Structure formats: structure tokens, C-alpha cells
Structure 1
Amino acid sequence: MGLLNALFGKSTNNVADYIEKGAVILDVRTHSEYQGGHIKNALHIPVQELGNRLNEVKKLNKPVIAYCASGMRSGSAASLLKSKGVDAINGGGIGSLQRKLG
């Protein structure tokens, strides 16, 4: 990460920075995973449904922090959202994101 910071400056993919900007927390896990526990006030849209529900996210007009179980699906979700003009980052797995949120 040091080399990237040297080349491009401070990373803008910082969860704290996104929280300061009023980001929405987006849970992209399955319905059963979400029911098993989730981050308080997280919007739930499974990654498989995200393509069909993009307008729902865009209408929020807020940056997005996506999370899943490990960070793989949320990475895909963040990439999709970015490609559609939404300011989004991959928050990683639920445990990691919960620690970052305090």
C-alpha cells in the first residue's frame, strides 16, 4: 500500500472517510446470512439482485460501503456500483467492517 500511496496520494477507499460523507452501509449477502446477523441500519440487497435494483441505490444519492462475509461479493458489488456512477467502496467482510465502525 505504501507504493500506491506514494504514486496516488492517500487512499480514498477509507471506511472512516466514507462514514464522514454520510455513506450507506450495504449488505450484499444472502437473505439467510442477513437474517443471521447484520450491521445495524444496513441496507440489504443481495449481490445477485443488485443489478436489478440499481435505481434503489442511486436514489439514495449517497456514497456506499458494501460488505459481505469475506469481501469477495462486496468487491463485485462495489465494482458494479462504481461502473454505474455510484461512489462505492468494498468494506470487506462483516467482521472486519464492524471493527472499523467501532
Structure 2
Amino acid sequence: MNIFSNVRRKSLQEYINEARGREGSIFLDVRTPEEYRDGHVEGSLNLPLHELKKIETLIPDKTSPVYVYCLSGARSKRSAALMGHMGYTDVTDMGGLLGQNVGLVK
């Protein structure tokens, strides 16, 4: 049994509210441009996972609070880990949009 199985993960909306309450927060959508155009968190930046090596030009301040999301949570988890290895110190994996009731913009 996983000892963390009873740990409640925040909903995407809770992460959005948290980020909006923190000055300098950045939403990072790591889905494809096509997925992003179908709907995304308002104000988010789009940088697909396969282009993550370009993150330093998009977000040069590695202490900025960055909230990463994707569709299912797999790409955001990988992106958050990679960003940590790249020296980013305040990265939150918000998980995926699937099954979440949040207002997305096109």
C-alpha cells in the first residue's frame, strides 16, 4: 500500500487560485500548440514539453513561481522535474486539465 494514498491533491482550480494570489506567478502549459488553442488557463504561456530546453528564454528568472499543467498530468510532472534539474526553484505541477471544471480561454 502506498503510504501517500490518502494525501489529497489540490484541484486545478485551487492551484489557479493559489497562483493568482502570488505575485509574479506564471502558468506554463506544456501541451502542443494545437491543444493550447483548444483552450487554456487564462494568461498561460505555451511551451510544449519537447521544447522545454527553451524555457530559459521564456522564463529567465529561475526563482519565479511557475505552475505547470498539461492534459493528463504526465507531461506536467515530467516538465516540473526537468525544470528542477535546470535550476528552477519554485515549480508546481498542477497536473492535467482532464476532468477538471475550470474556465478555459481560447
- Does the alignment reach a TM-score above 0.5? yes
Using the TM superposition, give the Cα deviation of residue 36 of structure 1 relative to its aligned residue in structure 2, in angstroms.
0.9
Which structure shows the bigger proportion of residues in helix conformation?
Answer: 1
Q: Give the unaligned 5+ runs of structure 2.
A: 8-13
- The 5 A counterparts of 1:78-93 are 78-86=80-88, 87-93=90-96
Shift in alpha-carbon separation, 1:18–1:67, aligned structure 2, 3 A: same
Structure 2 Cα separation of the partners of residues 92 and 77 of structure 1: 11
User: Higher relative contact order by CA 8 Å / sep ≥ 6: 1 or 2?
Assistant: 2
State the alpha-carbon separation in 1 of the partners of residues 34 and 45 from structure 2.
15
Deviation, 1:76, is: 0.7
The alignment's C-alpha RMSD in Å is 2.9
Partner of 2:69: 67
In 2: Cα distance, 1:97 partner to 1:55 partner:
32
**Structure 2 vs 1, CA of residues 19 and 82 (structure 1 numbering), >3 Å: closer, same or farther?**
farther
Equivalent pairs counted in the alignment come to 92
**% identical equivalent positions:** 30
Structure 1 unmatched ranges of 5 or more: 5-13
Partner of 2:97: 94
Partner residue in 1 for 2:30? 28
Q: How far apart in 2 are the matches of 1:89 and 1:97?
A: 19
| Structure-1-length-normalised TM-score | 0.71
